[in-house]
Amino acid sequence: MKNTLNKGLIKRRILVVDDEMINREILGNMLCDGYEVSYASNGQEALDLLRGTEESFSLILLDLMMPVMSGDEVLNICRSDPRLSSIPIIVLTQDEDAEASSIRSGADDFIKKPYNLPEVILARCERIIDLYEKKNLIDTTERDTLTGLYSNDFFFEYIRQIGQYNSDPMDAIAMDIENFHLINEIYGRSGGDEILKKAADIISAELGDGTGIACRSVADTFYIYHPAKEDYDDLVGRIEKEINSCSFLEAKIRIRIGINKNVDMSEAVEQWFDHAKLACDGMRRDYTRTLAYYDRELNDRQLHQARLISDMDASIANHDFVVFYQPKYGVLGDRPVLRSAEALIRWKHPELGMISPGSFIPLFEGNGLVQKLDRFVWEEAGAQIAAWKEQYKITVPVSVNVSRIDIYDPRLEEILFGILEKNGLTTKEMLLEITESAYSDNADRLIEVVNNLRAKGFRIEMDDFGSGYSSLNMLTTIPIDVLKMDMKFVSNMLKDEKSLKLCELVMDISRFLEVPVVAEGVEDEAQLAKLKDMGCEIVQGYYFSRPLPAEEFEELIRKEAELA
């Protein structure tokens, strides 16, 4: 637009107001090449011209001493009239004492009479017009046209400016109207707009003339920068009351407010409200509350989890994931005998270091990525079983986990048999652990898959037996080959009578089913002795060994080979 004006394609309009014809002509001659110039000989004529045209003037050059109506009167009227207040005014005067009072009354500049410096006059006119055009452009984008609140960009910038002078604690607030898109569909855009305006009115009243400001960020989202206070229930109540006073509403409308208390001044302004919005969005479809506070620790966990999800594929490709092996020993003979091992995944992240399985396995189970991790473990374990078999001429069967998400994969059998075939293994050498929690997710599918796998030679171990409600029901429908006793029972068996009885119950069930029990989490000799007395055949735990990387596990295989 500015380039178009500068090129003369569109001429800006200037109104010259002076009772002396010679002065009007002098100014007109100076300005006519670059501007469209109109004239008035007194203040009343000027106002009639300003109010009688639909076209706007870009500048008024206003003499102060005139008949009918003075320039001072015109200046005061223009500054109090919303339609005329945006037009800049340069006062024409030879009275130096009038300059200061004119500026205080709202004049933007002054030009001294007589007009003997045309270049200076043209420069001043151009500068004032340019400043006002920029100001008007700012004014049109500063406020949301519907609610009158600040627009997003100005909101954040003004907060940064406020922060230079205000050291009081402040809260960042994000507010949403629940299911606003449905409100627009049901009541039309006009109905939705009325609700937004009512919410904005309450927010503006809440802030008053204090240091707080607010904006309509997008659609039905409002951001509020509020002096810190303990309780916002009253604000929620007033907004909901005002919104629900709309006569056309047929059901109560609910709002959600997320609050980032006492914002951290070391963070970016936008981040304050991202945190508040995170708290606000966390209440979606939760109709038990309307207020939530940003939890920094929760956010840090979410960021950490997002990082783990993002890095998973690269870590699989780079073998940052490493399979460890924990031995299982047969304990009913004269000496403990290495019977098998369980494959356990570990993550040596190149930047975050060793990451606990408790941090990433539940995360990947929840979003389905555990299927990729399981596939990686199966491949690694299959290759390792084959390598040990070739090197030591003995087979150490390895148990691998089959997660709930794997059960739904129609290619499960194809994948497992592909790994066995590639490594020259049999179904007796790779054992499959299925946790009992998979049963509650889709019992019919689990039963079908387990029966098919067993029919084709795989041995099925029920992991964490006794940890859930479905255990006994599973045993009536799913044939299994091994029960793995939940380690919580083992760790408490010598401290708690209930845990001891549950261990004995698991042993009774195993005898009834004629399947062995693997006791997990055995850490000391007293536990081992008690389990042997119960008739437990296989033990796994730190008493014998922690989970080991493959190269360290080989030491156990070598010892077993020497004793065999």
Residue 304's CB: how many other CB atoms inside 10 A? 15
| Residues 372 and 316 sit within 8 Å (Cβ to Cβ) | yes
Question: At CB < 8 A and 24+ separation, what contacts does 98-101 make?
Answer: 98/64
DSSP string, 160-227: HHHHTT--S-EEEEEEEETTHHHHHHHHHHHHHHHHHHHHHHHHHHHHTTSS-EEEEEETTEEEEEEE
Q: Whose CA is closest to 405, among 431, 378, 370, 433?
A: 370
In angstroms, what is the C-alpha Rg of the chain? 40
User: Can you give the pLDDT at residue 120?
Assistant: 87
Q: Whose CA is closest to 352, among 314, 409, 317, 399?
A: 314
- Return the C-alpha torsion angle 229, 231, 232, 238, nearest 10: -120
Q: For residues 272 and 27, what is the distance between their CA atoms, to the nearest angstrom?
A: 54
User: Can you give the pLDDT at residue 1?
Assistant: 42
User: Can you give the pLDDT at residue 376?
Assistant: 97
| Residues 378 and 436 sit within 8 Å (Cβ to Cβ) | no
User: Can you give the pLDDT at residue 437?
Assistant: 62
| Residues 212 and 225 sit within 8 Å (Cβ to Cβ) | yes
pLDDT digits (tens, 9 = 90+) for 32-81: 988 999 999 999 999 999 888 767 889 999 998 899 999 889 999 998 88
Q: How far apart are the first and last CA of the chain?
A: 92
Set out the domains of the chain in order of their start, with CATH numbers: 2-142 (3.40.50.2300), 152-294 (3.30.70.270), 304-563 (3.20.20.450)
Q: Whose CA is closest to 364, among 323, 407, 306?
A: 306
**Omega of the bond prior to 114 within 30 degrees of 0, cis?**
yes
pTM of the model: 0.62
User: Can you give the pLDDT at residue 467?
Assistant: 62
| Residues forming beta bridges with residue 539, ordered by sequence position | 329, 519
pLDDT tens per residue across all 564 residues of the chain = 444 344 445 788 999 999 999 999 999 999 998 899 999 999 999 999 988 876 788 999 999 889 999 988 999 999 888 888 889 999 988 777 777 788 888 888 888 888 888 888 899 899 998 888 887 777 777 888 899 999 888 899 889 888 777 788 999 999 999 888 888 888 899 999 999 999 999 999 998 877 899 999 888 999 999 999 988 999 899 999 988 888 888 888 889 999 999 998 888 999 999 999 989 988 887 788 899 999 888 778 888 899 999 999 999 999 999 999 999 999 988 899 999 999 999 999 999 999 999 999 999 988 889 999 999 999 999 999 999 999 998 899 999 999 988 988 999 999 999 999 999 999 999 999 987 666 656 678 888 888 999 999 999 998 877 665 455 666 777 788 999 988 888 999 998 898 899 899 889 989 988 999 999 999 999 999 999 999 999 999 999 999 999 999 999 999 988 876
Q: For residues 469 and 441, what is the distance between their CA atoms, to the nearest angstrom?
A: 12
DSSP string, 46-109: HHHHHHH-SSPPSEEEEESS-SSS-HHHHHHHHHH-TTTTTS-EEEEES-HHHHHHHHHHT--E
Q: Whose CA is closest to 419, among 475, 375, 451?
A: 375
Q: For residues 483 and 78, what is the distance between their CA atoms, to the nearest angstrom?
A: 91
Burial pattern 445-480, b for ≥16 Cβ within 10 A else e, equals ebeebbeebbeeebbbbbbbbbbbeebeebbeebeb
pLDDT digits (tens, 9 = 90+) for 512-526: 889 999 999 999 999
Q: Dihedral of CA 343/347/353/359: which sign?
A: negative
Q: For residues 250 and 253, what is the distance between their CA atoms, to the nearest angstrom?
A: 9
| Residues forming beta bridges with residue 112, ordered by sequence position | 93
The stretches of 399-496 forming alpha helices (DSSP H) are 404-407, 412-423, 437-441, 443-455, 471-477, 487-492
Rounded (10°) angle between helices 296-317 and 357-367: 80
User: Can you give the pLDDT at residue 8?
Assistant: 47
Q: For residues 104 and 183, what is the distance between their CA atoms, to the nearest angstrom?
A: 49
Q: Specify the amino acid at residue 224.
A: I
| Residues forming beta bridges with residue 355, ordered by sequence position | 347
Q: List the strands of the sheet with 59-63, edge to edge.
A: 35-40, 12-17, 59-63, 89-93, 109-112
Residue 519's CB: how many other CB atoms inside 10 A? 30
Q: How many helices and strands (H and E) does the chain possess? A: 22, 20
